[in-house]
Structure 1
Amino acid sequence: MGVLDGRIALVTGGSSGIGLASAVALAAAGADVGIADLDADGGEAAVARIRAHGRRAVFQQVDATDETQVAGVVGQVVAELGGLDLAVNNVGDGELGRTVTTTSLESWNAIIGRSLTSTWLAMKYEIPAMAQRGGGAIVNMSSSAGVSPQTTASPAYAAAKAGVVHLTRYTARQYADQGIRVNAVAPGLTLTPRVEQWFAPDAIAGEVADSQFVHRAAAPEEVAAAVVYLCSPAAAMVTGHTLPVSGGVR
């Protein structure tokens, strides 16, 4: 039996990268999984991978900054899978080559929306659904850029991911009495499709050599392993914590 048998999860941003790896890992551990993402093709492919583990899965195309759509996907998971016990809030976005003075207001607002507002909005609807089941576990995706200054991260992204860290701790304290644990994961440089699009292999090698103890980028599956742990009974006394999966970012 898997450690998450009988649990029902929702993964936002679950069509690729860390979100996809987390969804598949949750399914491998025994959970049924709902996927929310803008990428319809990727979402349907994720559903197929979850079902290959013998688990139930649903997908809905969702803009994670649209309150009506977020409420709708939580409602769909509850209606079609039977409830909600676990959530991985993984939506986020950034840009390269920006500083405080070269970031536009439009870009700032968009990145804060996708990387921080989306996390709050997901929890707004996930928490009541979990409370109906007597509790649950939420894992929010932060970043090493949210806990350690990094010049490659845009200021909006760094601020948003730092906000995720504090929002996680704030929410964990507020809902602990309802049996809801809220933690975050802070990955370092991870070999997602976006990172591989942005950085050449030699640039990735240079980045990790200069900034962390373990001189390689993480695989999405390594981050997903931390997600499964935080969702599992083994982490029953872990809440309000941000777990770095960053190779020891300095």
Structure 2
Amino acid sequence: MGVLDGRVALVTGGAAGIGLASALALAEAGADVVIGDLNAEAGAEARERIVGLGRQSLFIATDATDEEQVAELVARTVADLGGLDLALNNVGRGELGRTVTTTTLESWNAILGLSLTSTWLACKHEIPAMVERGGGAIVNMASSAGVSPQVTASPAYAAAKAGVVHLTRYAARQYADVGVRVNAVAPGLTLTRRVEAWFDADAIAEEVADSQFVARAALPAEVAAAVVYLCSPAAAMVTGHTLPVSGGVR
């Protein structure tokens, strides 16, 4: 028996990195899992891995910044799997080497769209589906950059993730009385393929040594464990909270 048996979960950005690790962890805990992502090949592979764990799964190609596609993602989840109980909203990206004065308007708008607007759109369509089921749990992907200023994070990314933190608290307060809990996780530097492509091992070691109590990068599975906890009955009294998974960022 898994702690999430009988639940239906939706993971945006679930084809790779923290999203994939979370989708697999939710399935291992007993949930059926729908993956929304733009990467069709990786999404199909993720679906097969979830099915291999004995759970139902769908992959639905989705641009998380397009409201029609997000609405369709939620609608298909409900139609094909019978409802929606849990969600991880995990779409976003940053950039390196930008400051407040060197960030372009094009980049600013793109990063806020991917990292903040996508989260709002997902919540907008997930919450009514959860209310129909009598409640549910949403986890939004924030970042330690949205909690504490970090010069290695771009200003657009930091601002977007700070927005995710506040959106999370806002939604938690507004929908607590209808049984929908809304929390966030705030990872620090995490060893995804994207991070490993951006930084070499020495740069990662230097970054965490200077900025964290625990001097190593997090693993995607460690962030996924926090996601499962926030989705589980063990977190029934946890809402509006942003849970750092960052080794004690200074």
User: TM-score, normalised on structure 2?
Assistant: 1.00
Q: Check if 1:163 corresponds to 2:163.
A: yes
Indicate the residue corresponding to 1:134 in structure 2: 134
CA distance in 2, matches of 1:140, 1:53: 24
Indicate the residue corresponding to 1:180 in structure 2: 180
Describe how 1:14-163 pairs up with structure 2 within 5 A. 14-163=14-163
User: TM-score, normalised on structure 1?
Assistant: 1.00
Please give the per-residue CA displacement for 1:168-208, whole angstroms capped at 9, x wherever unaligned. 00000000011000000000000011101100011000000
CA distance in 1, matches of 2:249, 2:204: 14
CA positional deviation for 1:52 = 1.0
CA distance in 2, matches of 1:193, 1:66: 25
CA positional deviation for 1:55 = 0.1
CA distance in 1, matches of 2:119, 2:37: 13
SS across alignment from 2:243: strand
SS across alignment from 1:186: strand
CA positional deviation for 1:113 = 0.2
CA positional deviation for 1:131 = 0.4
SS across alignment from 1:99: coil
CA distance in 2, matches of 1:144, 1:222: 15
Please give the per-residue CA displacement for 1:11-58, whole angstroms capped at 9, x wherever unaligned. 000000000000000000000000000111110011011111100000
CA positional deviation for 1:220 = 0.1
AA in 2 matched with 1:16? A
Indicate the residue corresponding to 2:218 in structure 1: 218
**Consecutive unaligned residues in structure 2, runs of 5 or more:** none
CA positional deviation for 1:85 = 0.1
AA in 2 matched with 1:6? G
SS across alignment from 1:196: helix
Computed over aligned residues only, the root mean square deviation of the Cα atoms, in angstroms, reads: 0.4
Q: Check if 1:197 corresponds to 2:201.
A: no
CA distance in 1, matches of 2:82, 2:224: 24
CA positional deviation for 1:218 = 0.5
Indicate the residue corresponding to 1:231 in structure 2: 231
Alignment identity in percent?
79
**Consecutive unaligned residues in structure 1, runs of 5 or more:** none
